[in-house]
């Protein structure tokens, strides 16, 4: 049972997480799930361990999707934009032909 990825993405999507949950209920090995999704076994293993329920240890795909989305807030604030003093210093340096480093 090979499931094509829902979209070419480096991140797991909801369809991938649903497939993982279904196959875990069927007691499929992580390597088999990874092969079906065209992913590395370590990716699937990390997904299961990172997003399982903290108390029961069960893998719940919708909760996993919500946890993954919460860890990936967008847009991320820029480091230089948060502190105005170094920002002003850095912005004046290209005029002096300084390197960005």
pLDDT of residue 37: 94
User: What distance in Å separates the CA atoms of residue 73 and residue 81, rounded to the nearest whole number?
Assistant: 17
How many CA within 13 A on the CB side of residue 8? Answer: 0
pLDDT of residue 19: 96
Question: Is residue 87 over pLDDT 90?
Answer: no
Question: Max alpha carbon distance in the chain (Å)?
Answer: 64
pLDDT digits (tens, 9 = 90+) for 18-53: 999 999 999 999 999 999 999 999 999 999 999 888
pTM of the model: 0.66
Contact 6, 12 (CB under 8 A): no
Q: What are phi and psi of 59, to 5 degrees?
A: -90, 115
What percentage of the chain exceeds 90 in pLDDT?
47
Extents of the domains making up the chain: 14-76
């Amino acid at each position: 049972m090979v499931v094509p990825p829902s979209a070419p993405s480096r991140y797991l999507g909801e369809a991938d997480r649903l497939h993982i949950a279904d196959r875990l209920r069927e007691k499929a090995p992580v390597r088999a799930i990874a092969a079906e999704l065209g992913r590395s076994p370590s990716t699937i293993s990390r997904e299961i361990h990172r997003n399982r329920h903290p108390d029961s240890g069960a893998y719940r795909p919708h909760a996993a999707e919500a946890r993954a989305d919460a860890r990936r807030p967008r847009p991320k604030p820029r480091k230089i934009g948060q502190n105005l003093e170094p920002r002003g210093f850095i912005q004046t340096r290209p005029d002096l032909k300084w390197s960005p480093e």
